[in-house]
């Protein structure tokens, strides 16, 4: 059997997990990928997921930021998404024919835009409700 045949897949199999380590010239561990039965874990300075052609970074993460490079980010959980700090975006929308719900705890929402754009693009009234009944 030719283990280095470029047309043959590399198959690694384990009853527990498979770990791949990357080391620098001095032998120091610089990256690690562990694939287990319940989790895939990567330990490295930067993690990237690329498009099928390898041209675009779809997802990247390091200690400073996580970047999602797709055209659209969809959150499908029943509870939506929760942010611990400020959020800034150029575009927020609901699915067609669905309400866009923004819930604010003990802070405020600031919407900045020109008044003529605001009136033309909203297309529906803004309804204000409060958990305190006001």
Q: pLDDT for 99-129, tens place per residue?
A: 877 777 766 676 666 554 444 444 555 565 5
Mean pLDDT of 18-24: 95
**Overall average pLDDT of the 28-52 stretch:** 94
| Residue 43 neighbours by CB under 8 Å, 6+ apart | 31, 32, 33, 34
Nearest CA to 33 out of 53, 56, 57, 49 is that of 49
The contacts of residue 68 (CB under 8 Å, 6+ apart) are 58, 59
- Say what the pLDDT of residue 120 is: 41
pLDDT in tens, 41-63: 999 999 999 999 999 999 999 99
Structure tokens at 121: 């693009």
* C-alpha span between 34 and 21 (Å, rounded): 9
pLDDT bracket for residue 1 (50, 70, 90): very low
Backbone angles phi, psi at 17, to 5 degrees: -160, 170
- pLDDT at site 119: 41
Going by C-alpha positions, the residue among 53, 24, 47 that lies closest to residue 34 is 47
How confident is the prediction for the chain on average, in pLDDT?
Answer: 80
82 or 134, which is more confident: 82
Unique residue bearing structure tokens 């942010």: 83
């Amino acid at each position: 059997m030719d283990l280095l045949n470029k047309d043959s897949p590399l198959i690694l199999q384990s009853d527990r997990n498979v770990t791949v380590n990357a080391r620098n010239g001095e032998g120091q561990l610089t990256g690690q990928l562990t694939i287990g039965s319940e989790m895939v874990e990567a330990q490295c300075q930067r993690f990237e997921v690329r498009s099928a052609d390898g041209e675009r970074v779809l997802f990247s993460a390091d200690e400073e930021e996580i970047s999602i490079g797709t055209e659209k980010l969809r959150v499908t959980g029943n509870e939506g998404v929760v942010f611990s700090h400020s959020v800034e975006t150029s575009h927020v929308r609901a699915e067609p024919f669905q309400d866009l719900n923004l819930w604010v705890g003990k802070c405020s929402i600031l919407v900045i835009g020109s008044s003529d754009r605001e009136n033309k693009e909203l297309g529906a009234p803004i309804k204000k409700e409060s958990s305190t009944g006001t």
